[in-house]
Amino acid sequence: MLNKTVHEALNAQIKHEIYSSYLYLAMSAHCESKNYSGMAKWLKVQSSEEYGHAMKLFHYVQERGAAVVLQAIDQPPTAFGEPLELFKKVLAHEQQVTTLVTALYELAAKEKDYPSQFMLQWFVTEQVEEEKNVSDIVDQIIRVGDTPVSLMMLDRQLGMRASK
């Protein structure tokens, strides 16, 4: 049986992951409207990964014989500024998700819910990778400068991201 507090926190995390998916989809639409189609593709792939994270939790809650209770999703912003500003926002969002995942992991440990703790290890590791990927993009823009030519090259590079 799934611990009640962990159960509630997992349902809340499903919402956070779906919000992440929604946020990156909004960012993708923003990039497309600015003719950065490569960045738009990268963000669309990221959005679909976030949806996958939500579904991982969704199926886990069901596997434990507990109810999935979906919560309201906030409307994401519609404008995100220039690429550097946008990717800094992605990084800040991922750092926030890491804080949530860490708190969830700590809660599972505190409640001695070992199966949840074990499952959440995947998310802890995933956050390390996600933060690194976005941090690399931010560093790259800062290093080469956000001139039209360097942004065009970055756009081409990010457009090569394959869907998982």
Q: Which residues are near ligand FEO by CB under 6 A?
A: 17, 20, 50, 53, 94, 97, 130
Contact assessment for residue 3 and residue 101, using Cβ atoms and an 8 Å cutoff:
no
Question: In the bound complex, what is the minimum distance in angstroms from residue 156's beta carbon to ligand FEO?
Answer: 24
Q: Which pair of tokens denotes residue 108?
A: 């599972």
For ligand FEO, which is the closer residue by CB, 94 or 155?
94
| Residues 145, 49: Cα–Cα separation, whole Å | 28
Least distance from C-beta 149 to ligand FEO, angstroms?
30
| Shorter beta-carbon distance to ligand FEO: residue 30 or 53 | 53
Name the residue whose CB lies closest to ligand FEO. Answer: 53
Work out how close the CB of 120 gets to ligand FEO at its nearest, in angstroms, rounded to a whole number.
12
The CA distance from 136 to 121, in Å, is 23
d(CA 113, CA 72): 27
